[in-house]
């Protein structure tokens, strides 16, 4: 029986090292992902800036955007040398900017190309590979279908190339005429398709993603799949993650209070030059509490002294 997993999705401009270290004060067990990093950036960019992480961020997965087998293989070896325990291929982002780089959701139409990448990456490193994708590309031909046949074919080809873990965002992707936001808001979710995939591929690790925002929903999905990936909810309401370790990993360690979390995060803020860019990740800490408005106002002052004053208050 596969071990169940709860993870936080890779989110561009959000899941940087500051956010990951903040989240680790709330959950030590949930799997974290980096922001997506393009294949060429890893090969030719500032690797220390792009890839370095703190040991406390583990378990941590590196998400790569790319489709060139030779480059992806070199990236895999570099990632292994940096200490990543898993590599995730982005085959689900519908952004036009990502499509221009020949990766993201457009790769759903090219499973053979991903298979070639996987084969080369596995020759170059021993890191387990996973794929994050969607159900299918929405086309005029399949607009009224659930997309399962396309998804099944995609998983069959890429799993035969060595991938054993798939995170499925449970909706289709439309590449033309829709922004990423419109893809989220206008295309319906279909969780049953992901459940069906697990039934047909019981030997694979199948995980689900898409508008999951409560522990009750996580519990429900874990009856049918091997893992649940939380997206925007983890950023908007990070303290909700404090339930993850005890409910899904049998941890006995109590969740710190919000003030304790801020207190623990202070040394990181103190190490920053002004403005305090990391404070943007803390905005949702008091989500839907009476202190929410004051907390946001405090952070917007971009002043460490104001945060310390907040911690000293009786609120």
Check whether the bond before 275 is cis (ω within 30° of 0).
Answer: yes
Q: Between 258-270 and 304-312, two packed helices, what is the crossing angle to 10 degrees? A: 160
Q: Considering the candidates 93, 106, 117, 163, report the single residue annotated as catalytic.
A: 93
Pairing verdict, β 205-209 and 227-230: parallel
Q: Which two tokens stand for residue 292?
A: 């929410």
Q: Which two tokens stand for residue 123?
A: 């020759």
- ∠ CA(248), CA(251), CA(252), 5° rounding? 140
Question: Long-range contacts for 214-222 (Cβ within 8 Å, ≥24 apart)?
Answer: 214/240, 215/240, 215/243, 215/244, 215/247, 218/6, 218/247, 218/248, 219/247, 221/191, 222/4, 222/248
- Under DSSP, is residue 175 helix (H, G, I), strand (E, B) or coil? coil
CA 231 to chain centroid: 7
Check whether the bond before 59 is cis (ω within 30° of 0).
Answer: yes
Let me know: does 255 contact 238? Beta carbons within 8 Å. no
In 3D space, the residue among 151, 128, 131 whose CA is nearest the CA of residue 90 turns out to be 131
The question of whether 163 is a catalytic residue gets the answer: no
Residue 166: C-alpha distances to residues 109, 152, 154, 170, 206 (Å): 16, 12, 11, 12, 5
Residues identified as active-site: 93
């Amino acid at each position: 029986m596969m071990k169940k997993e709860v993870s936080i999705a890779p989110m561009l401009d959000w899941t940087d090292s500051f956010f990951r270290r903040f989240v680790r004060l709330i959950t030590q067990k949930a799997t974290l992902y980096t922001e997506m990093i393009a294949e060429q950036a890893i090969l030719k960019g500032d690797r220390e800036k792009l890839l370095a992480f703190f040991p406390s961020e583990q378990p941590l997965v590196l998400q790569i955007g790319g489709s060139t087998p030779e480059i992806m293989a070199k990236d895999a070896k570099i990632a292994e040398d940096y200490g990543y325990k898993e590599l995730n291929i982005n085959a689900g982002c519908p952004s036009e900017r990502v499509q221009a780089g020949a990766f993201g959701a457009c790769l759903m139409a090219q499973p053979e190309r991903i298979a070639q990448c996987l084969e080369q990456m596995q020759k170059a490193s021993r890191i387990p590979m996973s794929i994050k994708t969607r159900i299918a590309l929405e086309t005029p031909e399949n607009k009224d279908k659930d997309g399962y046949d396309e998804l099944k074919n995609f998983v069959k080809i890429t799993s035969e190339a060595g991938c054993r873990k798939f995170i499925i965002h449970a909706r289709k992707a439309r590449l033309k005429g829709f922004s990423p936001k419109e893809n989220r808001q206008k295309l319906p979710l279909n969780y049953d398709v992901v459940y069906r995939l697990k039934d047909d591929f019981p030997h694979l690790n199948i995980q689900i993603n898409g508008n999951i925002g409560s522990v009750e929903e996580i519990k429900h999905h874990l009856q049918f799949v091997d893992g649940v990936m939380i997206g925007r909810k983890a950023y908007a309401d990070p303290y909700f993650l404090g339930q993850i370790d005890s409910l899904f990993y049998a941890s006995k360690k109590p969740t710190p209070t919000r003030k304790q979390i801020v207190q623990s995060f202070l040394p990181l803020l103190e190490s920053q030059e002004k403005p305090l860019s990391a404070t943007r990740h803390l905005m949702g800490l008091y989500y839907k509490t009476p202190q929410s408005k004051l907390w946001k106002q405090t952070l917007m002052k971009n002043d460490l002294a104001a945060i310390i004053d907040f911690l000293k208050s009786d609120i």
